[in-house]
Amino acid sequence: MAKDTVTITDNATGKSIEVPVLRGTHGPPVFDVGTVYKELGMFTFDPGFTSTGSCESTITFIDGEEGILLYRGYPIEQLAEQSHFLEVCYLLWYGRLPSAQELSDFETIITHHTMVHEGLRDFYAGFHRGAHPMAIMVGVVGALSAFYHDSLDIHDHRSREISAHRLIAKMPTIAAWAYRYSRGEPFMYPSNKLGYAENFLRMMFGFPTEEYEINPVAAKALDLIFLLHADHEQNASTSTVRLAGSSQANPFACISAGVGTLWGPAHGGANEAVIEMLEEIEDARNISKFVAKAKDPNDPFRLMGFGHRVYKHYDPRAKIIRKSCYDVLDALKLDDPLFDIALKLEEIALKDEYFVERKLYPNVDFYSGIIQRAIGIPTNMFTVIFTIGRTIGWISQWNEMIGEKGLKIGRPRQLYTGEATRDYVRIDRR
Ligand code: CMC
């Protein structure tokens, strides 16, 4: 029987080593290159990590060829249909579905952590009124580490759990306040009577002077968006959180690093960029012009919300969100011309050889903005909404890594192509 190893041969020296192949529950196996440098004196080279597994994980699985996404083994479609965000938070953190009592206790804990330290309010005043809410998120989330010293012992499991509860609970408050600050409107405190998404809607849109009536369609749609964004294995922001965490930095600092990474338009910032693109397209008759631009190798323009490093198939989250767009617009009796443009754009792109050949399909960001617009979320808050949902994924992945035996600082190597060694030249001789 063939050995479960891969042989790596350096043809220059003729030296060969055998490295072990490791197999997970699902997905392609990996070969462990941990001994390559010691044995062959070479590093492996994979900028962009296109062939590199950076860690072992039990949290989320994606089969990009088949368009499958599992949280702790449960298909995203089943969770979207039958579960809700806080139950998914429990699942991701604790690794199993809660009993009714466990869920109720968890919801109570999260509800009672939604307030933020009053001192943190003062931070907002330091931001420019026109600051992007993601800029405020990066700052205020990082600042949590200056207020919650009692849960910063990363080697204590209970301390990590309290930090996770705090992050999940406070993120909507911090996010809604970022929006209120930009509007010059009063900050709304959370209400313990409300559910997670409901509370966020009230803090975003309510006023202390009157009762805020929750629209159940909006609350359900938002909860679904949080759930669908909850985790996505080793994406750029999650890998950032893990790398930051590997230095044993505190969880709030690590999550703040993740928020910064998520902001980029190639990652979570794409949802905002999609709406900007659809607005720019303006009319379905202009679509072919934009598709041509996206295909032009000399034009940096890309179809935002299209393509994915892992999915070479329709993103299962996009499929769920697309369907939800119909439900939400219908329930709210809205007609969004941008949704029509998005549908037409998808139809045209999916028939175009360029997109077919490269297996470029709509990703999670393509339709999520349509729902958010429908429930009144302004475009510059879209990535903030993504942040709220993804926090549980980041903190669960961080916790998994910190809990491992023999945690090592993440420290990639490089292929140096700069100047060879040379002598310093005194300034009067240059
Ligand atoms: N429009 C036009 N061409 C594209 C697009 C696009 N959206 N995405 C990829 N391509 C082309 C790309 O030009 C390249 O063509 P060629 O082989 O001729 O050079 C080929 O497809 C492969 O692209 P890549 O850049 O090597 O793929 P990647 O895995 O490095 O990038 C991506 C993945 C998501 C960054 C990229 O598809 C992209 O920029 N998409 C638009 C931004 C976006 O929607 N981002 C959200 C990602 S999903 C949610 C999240 O992560 O937050």
Chain segment 205-220, per-residue pLDDT in tens = 999 999 999 999 999 9
- Out of 287, 301, 309, 350, mutate this one to test ligand 1's pocket (max ligand atoms within 8 Å of CB): namely 309
Overall average pLDDT of the 122-140 stretch: 94
Ligand 1 atom nearest to 268, measured from its CA: 52
Structure confidence at residue 406 as a pLDDT band (50, 70, 90) = confident
* 329-387 pLDDT, tens digit each: 999 999 999 999 999 999 999 999 999 999 999 999 999 999 999 999 999 999 999 99
* 42-70 pLDDT, tens digit each: 999 999 999 999 999 999 999 999 999 99
The model's pTM:
0.95
HSE of 317, CA atoms in CB hemisphere, 13 A: 26
Alpha helices, DSSP H, located in 375-428: 382-402
pLDDT at 151: 86
Overall average pLDDT of the 299-324 stretch: 95
Distance in Å, CA 308 to ligand 1 centroid: 6
Please report, rounded to a whole number, the percentage of residues in the chain having pLDDT higher than 70: 100
* 274-292 pLDDT, tens digit each: 999 999 999 999 999 999 9
Sheet holding 30-31, edge to edge: 5-10, 15-22, 30-31
* Positive or negative: CA dihedral 203, 205, 209, 210: negative
Strands 15-22 and 5-10: antiparallel
Cα(364)–Cα(332) distance, rounded to whole angstroms? 22
Give the residue numbers annotated as catalytic, written as ranges.
308, 365
Cα(152)–Cα(345) distance, rounded to whole angstroms? 47
Task: Name which residue sits closest to atom 37 of ligand 1, judged by CA.
Answer: 307
Using alpha carbons, select from 228, 231, 193 the residue that is nearest to residue 214.
193
* 92-107 pLDDT, tens digit each: 999 999 999 999 999 9
pLDDT at 162: 97
Structure confidence at residue 227 as a pLDDT band (50, 70, 90) = very high
pLDDT at 1: 55
Task: Name which residue sits closest to atom 47 of ligand 1, judged by CA.
Answer: 267
161 SS3 class: helix
Strands 60-63 and 68-71: antiparallel
User: Given a cut of 80, is residue 3 above it in pLDDT?
Assistant: no
Using alpha carbons, select from 180, 182, 127 the residue that is nearest to residue 190.
180
